[in-house]
Each structure stands twice: as C-alpha cells, then as structure tokens.
Amino acid sequence: MPDPTPLAQDLLQPLWQAGWYGAARHLASPNFGPRPEGAQIDLVVIHSISLPPGQYGTGAVQQLFTNQLDWDAHPYYQGIRGLEVSSHFFVTRQGEIWQFVSCDDRAWHAGVSQWRGRDRCNDDSIGIELEGLEGLSFEAPQYQALQQLCSAIAAQYPVHYIAGHEHIAPGRKQDPGPGFDWQRLQQQLGSVDGTQSWEFPPHASPPA
C-alpha cells in the first residue's frame, strides 16, 4: 500500500486527469451523468458495501457498479435485481482504491438525500464506498487509504463537508454504521489537513 501521507498539492495535481485519480485502479461504470451547471463539489459521502453482505473480496461490488453482476449467483441479489448504481470510489479491506466514475461527473450513490441545507447530494458530492458491513468494524488499511484519498480530493476539489450515508439519508440508510470510527478519521485528516479544513457530522461517535 502506498504511503498514506498526502503529497504536496503541486505534486498531487498530476495524479488527476479529467477527474480520475491516478493512485486508484480504474474501472469505468456506465452509471453516471453530468453534474448540474454551477454545482460546487464540496461534500464527501462515506458508504459501506459488501456483496453478498458480509462477504469480502468477491468482486461482486465491482460487477454491480459496472452492470455485470449475475443476479442469479446468490439469493440476496434477487432483492437488488436490475439496480443501476455507482460510486466514485471503492476501498477494499486491504486498502486498495478503485475508481468507477470521474469526480467531475455525477455518480449514483446517494439517492434521496439532504445535507448542509441542500437536497440531491449526488449533484455536488463524491461518494466513497468502504468494503464492509454496516455495524461492523473496518480495517486499518482502509482508514489509511481513506485519509490518503480524502486529502487528495481536497487538494483537487473545494470539499469542506464529510458525512456518512446514514447522515444524508437518515432512517433510509444506516451505513457505514456504528462500526465506523469517525473520530479516527477526523484525527487522521486533522493531523495533515488541519481540522478547520473539514466539517464532520455533529454527534459523530466512536465505534460501538
């Protein structure tokens, strides 16, 4: 895994090309669209996902985001048959970063949502999926990769806010859930970016 310490901004810029992050593995998803005119990309949304739920390293998440999932491969998939979704990034349990949609474009990750006084969070957010199951914990390499990725995003886009899917769609979504350590991420980002650079959800608590 690369050194998670963020690079200086002048060194980070060449790592981006048309919204694609050079330190990620690229696998283009067809599930995206243009952002609305004038959209300011200022929010990072943290999600969690595993397919089938609780099983890791299956490749099914990558298949889902590229419309390649075999709906008959597992009984759980019948409940999501035909779903067309995507996220900008996916971070595996080993800390490997995948990218599916250019950050300049609108990925389909948030759904009906609201944050910082605005609806339709897909319009002006960057979605990051962590391989995991809501309510359970995440791995150290994932936090390292997430800190690296968020710092790189902040060097390229005017992001200021960071929230979980559970915060922007309360009652409808519960991820990443109580197993995610918001304080750990806040401390990691604050140590390198300055805590004033990020606004975290109120009442973000340590993992259960």
Asked if residues 164 and 47 have their Cβ atoms less than 8 Å apart, the reply is yes
Q: H or E stretch including 149?
A: helix 140-156
**Edge-to-edge strand list for the sheet holding 125-131:** 25-26, 97-99, 89-91, 125-131, 43-49, 161-164
Asked if residues 147 and 154 have their Cβ atoms less than 8 Å apart, the reply is no
| Residue 131: active-site member | no
Residues in contact with 17: Cβ distance below 8 Å, sequence separation at least 6, in sequence order: none
Of residues 37, 84, 96, 129, which has the active-site annotation?
129
The residues carrying an active-site annotation are 129
